[in-house]
Amino acid sequence: MATSTIQWSPGWTTKAPEQGDLVLALSGSGIFKPDDGWLQTLESIPDNPGNAGFVSLGSVNGRPVFVTQVPESLVVGRDVVPLRDALMMISDVPAAMLSTGFQVWQWFQDHQYCGRCGGSTVFHPRERAKWCNNCNIPWYPRLAPCVIVVIRKQDRYLLAKSSRVKRHFYSLIAGFVEPGESLEAAVAREVKEETGLDITNIQYQASEPWPFPHQLMAGFFADYAGGELVLQEDELADAGWFLPGSRPPVPPDTTISGRLIRDMEIRIASGGRGL
């Protein structure tokens, strides 16, 4: 993700925010951004929603930070930056903090009631969880593991264009991990389902949280092992093998897909063999 000068320390407390504390204000699918930076003071938030409407995010330079939601009707004409644009287009964005803020706010909204008995939940006193006093069970923030892979075939690598995403990027094969699967098995299955290709030498490279709404992306390299491209049309609009330096637009290096593509291009250009 992007690198920021904000020194954010993740943390958790059940205490309510106080005057002077910092707030990440969300509005719809974006961040209600002040003129300078990404955080506002508690007293500057319009229509302060009260203590129940804040979730702890940790601290910035020792000052507590919380996340809340501001109604879209109150920020008409103000600077609201879509989260996806912030993560993909702005180089110095505090990506980890914004990603965490969106994910824990989604969790806070989704688990105000117990999924077993329907009773109201409260904050757990010691960890980031919602607690049901009737069932004595915690409800933690949800994480959905996903895999994403660069497939190499000699001096080329595979890029694909989604049939669902409107952006004009080509990117990588990716998908969710199924129950009972290893990450490597998920890579092989997703590639086979979406492209018809067989792969080998699947090797882990890096990971990244991706808050749309709560994915954890695990990135891999793999080698082509056989098969012809047969696209799953409800997933992919186009795909092909590309040489480094001769490819369509791809996601920026602020994303795991962009960094995996960059690293594979470097490996191929330097004369490195398959994995």
- Count Cβ atoms below 10 Å from residue 17 Cβ, excluding itself: 23
> Cα–Cα distance between 188 and 203 in angstroms, integer?
11
Q: What are the φ and ψ backbone dihedral angles of 237, each rounded to 5 degrees?
A: -95, -25
Q: How many domains does the chain have?
A: 2
* Residue that terminates a domain, selected from 58, 84, 110: 110
Q: Does some domain include residue 121?
A: no
Would you say residue 81 has pLDDT above 90? Answer: yes
Q: Where are the beta strands (DSSP E) in 167-268?
A: 173-176, 198-210, 215-226, 236-242
Beta-strand relationship, 173-176 and 144-153: antiparallel
Q: What's the confidence (pLDDT) of residue 222?
A: 98
The HSE-up count of residue 151 (CA atoms within 13 Å, CB side) is: 28
Together in a domain, 98 and 172: no
Q: What's the confidence (pLDDT) of residue 39?
A: 95
Together in a domain, 257 and 199: yes
- The DSSP call for residue 177 is P
> Cα–Cα distance between 233 and 162 in angstroms, integer?
9
Identify any residues that bridge with 240 across adjacent strands, giving them in sequence order.
Answer: 159
Q: What's the pTM?
A: 0.87
Q: Does some domain include residue 94?
A: yes
Together in a domain, 164 and 99: no
Together in a domain, 102 and 195: no
> Model confidence over 164-195: pLDDT tens digits?
877 788 999 999 999 999 999 999 999 999 99
Together in a domain, 88 and 166: no
Beta-strand relationship, 198-210 and 137-139: unpaired
Together in a domain, 61 and 169: no
Mean pLDDT computed over 234-238: 93
Q: Which amino acid is at 16?
A: A
**Sequence-distant (≥ 6) Cβ neighbours of residue 238 within 8 angstroms:** 160, 161, 170, 231
Q: What's the confidence (pLDDT) of residue 72?
A: 83
Identify any residues that bridge with 80 across adjacent strands, giving them in sequence order.
Answer: 32
Helices (H), 136-269: 183-195, 256-269
Q: Does some domain include residue 54?
A: yes
Q: Does some domain include residue 192?
A: yes
Together in a domain, 96 and 148: no
Would you say residue 127 has pLDDT above 90? Answer: yes
Q: What's the confidence (pLDDT) of residue 257?
A: 96
Mean pLDDT computed over 227-254: 93
Assign 100 to helix, strand or coil.
helix
CATH label of the domain that carries residue 57: 3.90.79.20
From the list 243, 266, 150, the residue with the least C-alpha distance to 205 is 150
Q: What's the confidence (pLDDT) of residue 5?
A: 67
Together in a domain, 93 and 149: no
- What is the band of 150 on the pLDDT scale with cuts at 50, 70, 90? very high
Together in a domain, 84 and 167: no
Mean pLDDT computed over 140-149: 97
- What is the band of 51 on the pLDDT scale with cuts at 50, 70, 90? very low
Q: What are the φ and ψ backbone dihedral angles of 52, each rounded to 5 degrees?
A: -70, -15
Q: Does some domain include residue 116?
A: no
| Residue range(s) defining the domain that contains residue 180 | 144-269
Together in a domain, 171 and 249: yes
From the list 251, 166, 179, the residue with the least C-alpha distance to 208 is 251
- What is the band of 3 on the pLDDT scale with cuts at 50, 70, 90? low
Higher pLDDT residue, 48 or 104? 104
CATH label of the domain that carries residue 237: 3.90.79.10
Would you say residue 114 has pLDDT above 70? Answer: yes
Q: Does some domain include residue 123?
A: no
> Cα–Cα distance between 44 and 47 in angstroms, integer?
9
- For the chain, what is the mean pLDDT? 91
Q: Does some domain include residue 224?
A: yes
Q: Does some domain include residue 115?
A: no
Together in a domain, 148 and 75: no
Higher pLDDT residue, 231 or 272? 231
Would you say residue 119 has pLDDT above 90? Answer: yes
